[in-house]
Amino acid sequence: MTMNSSSARNKALSTIEQFSPQATSLISYQSNGRVFIFGPDTELSLCHDFASPLTLIRIPVSSTSSDLAAGEVYSLDQRQILIEGYLGDFIVQLVDERDNIEKLQVDIILDLNSEPLIKHQILPPGYLHRKLDSKNLAEIENELLDMVGEFEKPKFFKYNPDICAHSVNGIIGCTNCIDACPAGAITSLGEKIEVMPFLCQGGGTCATVCPSGAIQYAYPGLADIGNQIYKMLKIYREQGGEQAIVMFHTEESFPESLMNQQETLLPIQVEELAAVGMDLCLSSLAYGASQVVFLANDEIPELSLEKLTQHLDWVKAMLSGLGLNPLRASIQQDISNFTPYQPEKTIEAALYSMPDEKRRAIYQALDHLYQQTDGENEAVDLPAGAPFGSVTIDEKTCTLCMACVGACPGKALQDGSNRETPEVFFIESNCIQCGLCVQTCPEQAVTLTPRIVFDREIRNRSRVLNQDSPFACISCGKPFASTSVIHKITDKLKDHYMFKTTRAMDRLKMCEDCRVVDIVQDPTAMKGNFDPLH
């Protein structure tokens, strides 16, 4: 390593030691050491003499036998075990075939079965899944003892329901965070979602997959870690460093020997790798990194790695569209095969600070990279599922009912009916491709196309997707609906028994005020029973 590179990196990394993320609220646990243990009889028989304050409740699952050492022992007796909760507040339910339930409240779970009863890739705090024998008995006992007492952890997330695209009017749209959470901490509450803070362990995948930024990683926040990277790369350049490689890693994954092998490597330790999304990846490149690497080890949940890989595919498509080599962003699982990428083009570093809003950060980085490249492509198609894209409306089937506008959580689709001509407008920068417009449209006239528009002016410009001539009330002449809506309504109701007469059909072509007046004056409609004086 050259003296310049060594000095530049050391001074750049020293900024990380000074980093202090903005504080977040804390989640508290209280555990008194009441342990529920279930598994094969042979392993359960070893668990009987643990140190105080541990108290044991045991259920053998391989038989109905309760021939164990003294203590609190329950017979499973063909009952089903259901477990929910977290450290200090687990509820164990023993349910028989008649749905009779026996409930136990415990602080800690020790699951000795070959496969854990709870199937989430990240088990709840206080849930241990272990293989037990006489050799590791003391080790497991110490693990249990370490779970007794009062504990605190940061609240890792922030949730803004106002921009959540989960559901509108009973129609489910985005379920990305629910599907991606490896801890099973996110559930649907109808229109919105709920994150259980006691189950959330900061996996961060929810924030990465959220298309709107409704869920954000809170500790550290996006602006905190983004500005840390900005400052680190700035000092690295000022000290003569070149071709910086930003490598995101967790505490367990980074091999120190790699520092000596790669003189331009700048490691960034994060709580969870999957919490680093397109926003930080693209911003690191905009801030002057020649390459961004995600160092994934065996500790990352499979689901999180799958989502991270999907997002890197979108980033690579964007880089290709910008004329940049997609090798600038990669996931590295086998570090022995790591080879630095030698960029064919130098990107002048951006000098702006990091915003705390996900989509703004992504657009800001793309705008800078677009300015630094040839700008040959105004837009580029993205793989399926990407949270950016266009909407098209089939003018032949759309009646401008505005259902899509009412369902759009990002205000990408907007109602232009307050103008002289009924219209649907679209602002592409607001579109998160959640699909609620597609599912809401009664005419199946809406289609999504995932893509990214690099030109900021075009991306932010409002454009008309469909328009129609206004239909004027045949009585007073006031425009009150689009022509296509009236034509569709009259066509659907022409054979209905309530609209057999010409006068009844004509009421469909009146505004609501004139319609009321006409129906009151129509003796056929009121059957002669209407008296305006009574």
Per-residue model confidence as pLDDT tens digits over 447-463: 999 999 999 999 999 99
Q: What span, in angstroms and rounded, lies between the C-alpha atoms of 109 and 107?
A: 7
Domain membership of residue 369 (yes or no) is yes
Residue 63: what pLDDT? 56
Instruction: Mark whether 212 and 249 lie in a shared domain.
Output: no
SS3 label, residue 292: strand
Say what the pLDDT of residue 532 is. 46
pLDDT: which is higher, 255 or 296: 296
In this prediction, residue 530 has a pLDDT band, given cuts at 50, 70 and 90, of very low
Residue 446: which region, alpha, beta or left (left: phi > 0; alpha: psi -120 to 50)? beta
> Residue 136 is part of a domain; what is its CATH number?
3.50.50
Specify the pLDDT at position 197: 94
- Residue 146 · residue 208 · CB < 8 Å: no
pLDDT: is 417 or 203 the higher one? Answer: 203
**pLDDT tens for each residue of 66-77:** 455 545 667 777
Instruction: Please check the confidence at residue 52 and state whether its pLDDT lies above 60.
Output: yes
Which tokens go with 31? 């555990």
Is it the case that residue 411 has pLDDT exceeding 90? yes
Give the model's pLDDT for residue 463: 94
Structural tokens at position 377: 């492509």
Taking only Cα atoms into account, the Rg of the chain, rounded to an integer number of angstroms, comes to 31
Domain boundary (217, 248, 269) is at 217
Does residue 534 form part of some domain? no
Tell whether 203 is covered by a domain. yes
Q: Which CATH number characterizes residue 459's domain?
A: 3.30.70.20
Same-domain check for residues 307 and 319: yes
| 309 or 531, greater pLDDT | 309
**Which of 69-83, 203-217, 310-324, 445-459 has the lowest average pLDDT?**
69-83
| One domain for residues 146 and 160 | no
Domain boundary among 152, 168, 189: 152
Claim to verify: residue 192 and residue 255 sit in the same structural domain: no
Contact (Cβ atoms closer than 8 angstroms) between residue 331 and residue 309: yes
Say what the pLDDT of residue 421 is. 77
pLDDT at residue 488, rounded to an integer? 82
- CA proximity to 241, closest of 264, 258, 210, 261: 264
Per-residue confidence at 110, pLDDT binned at 50, 70, 90? very high
User: Which of 152, 178, 209 is where one domain is finished?
Assistant: 152
Q: Give which of 391, 389, 425, 429 is closest to 410, Cα–Cα.
A: 429
Q: What pLDDT score does 62 carry?
A: 65
Domain count, the chain: 5
CA pair distance 434, 429, nearest whole angstrom: 13
Q: Are residues 251 and 188 in the same domain?
A: no
- The residue written with tokens 């699982």 in the block is 333
CA nearest 442: which of 480, 496, 399?
Answer: 399
**Residue ranges making up the domain that contains 131:** 28-152
Same domain for 509 and 449: no
pLDDT band at 251 (very low <50, low <70, confident <90, very high): confident
* 262 and 296 assigned to the same domain: yes
Average pLDDT over residues 273-283: 95
Start-to-end CA distance of the chain, whole Å, equals 99
Nearest to 272 by CA among 185, 222, 208, 203: 203
Predicted confidence (pLDDT) at residue 534 exceeds the cutoff of 60: no
Q: Does any domain span residue 257? A: yes
pLDDT of amino acid 137:
93
| Residue 361, phi then psi, degrees to nearest 5 | -65, -40
My answer on whether 124 and 251 are in the same domain is: no
Q: Are 438 and 475 part of one and the same domain?
A: no
Closest C-alpha to 236, from 164, 288, 194: 288
Convert 237-259 into a string of H (helix), E (strand) and C (coil). Answer: HHCCCCCCEEEEECCCCCCCHHH
Which residue do the tokens 């000098």 mark? Answer: 351
Note the pLDDT tens digit of each residue in 477-511.
Answer: 888 877 888 888 888 888 888 888 889 889 999 99
| Mean pLDDT of all residues in 193-219 | 93
Which residue type is seen at 372? Q
Mean pLDDT, residues 175-182 taken together: 95
Strand partners, 215: 159
Q: Is the pLDDT score of 3 beyond 60?
A: no
Give the pLDDT band of residue 134 (cuts 50, 70, 90).
confident
Cβ(128)–Cβ(111) below 8 Å: yes
Opening angle at CA 318, ends 315 and 324, nearest 5: 100
pTM of structure = 0.84
- Would you say residue 359 lies in a domain? yes
pLDDT of residue 533: 44
Q: Are residues 165 and 71 in the same domain?
A: no
Distance CA 390, CA 20 (A): 39
What is the pLDDT averaged over residues 167-189? Answer: 93
Q: What is the pLDDT of residue 69?
A: 54
Across 59-63, 82-86, 494-498, least confident range: 59-63
- pLDDT of 453 reads 97
Statement: residue 407 has pLDDT above 90: yes
Asked whether residue 246 falls in the same domain as residue 359, the answer is yes
Question: CA–CA distance from 27 to each of 90, 94, 161, 184, 442 (Å)?
Answer: 16, 29, 21, 17, 45
Inside any domain, residue 531:
no
Whole-number average pLDDT of the chain: 89
Between β-strands 215-217 and 157-159, what pairing exists: parallel, antiparallel or unpaired?
Answer: antiparallel
Q: Residue 238 forms beta bridges with which residues?
A: none
Pick the residue with more confidence: 212 or 73?
A: 212
- With a cut of 90, say whether residue 235 has pLDDT above it: yes
Asked if residue 231 and residue 166 are part of one domain, the reply reads no
Residue 189, domain member (yes or no): yes
Amino acid (1-letter code) at residue 422: P
Among 5-9, 10-14, 306-310, the range of highest mean pLDDT = 306-310
Q: Is residue 190 part of a domain?
A: yes
Q: What pLDDT shows up at residue 1?
A: 44
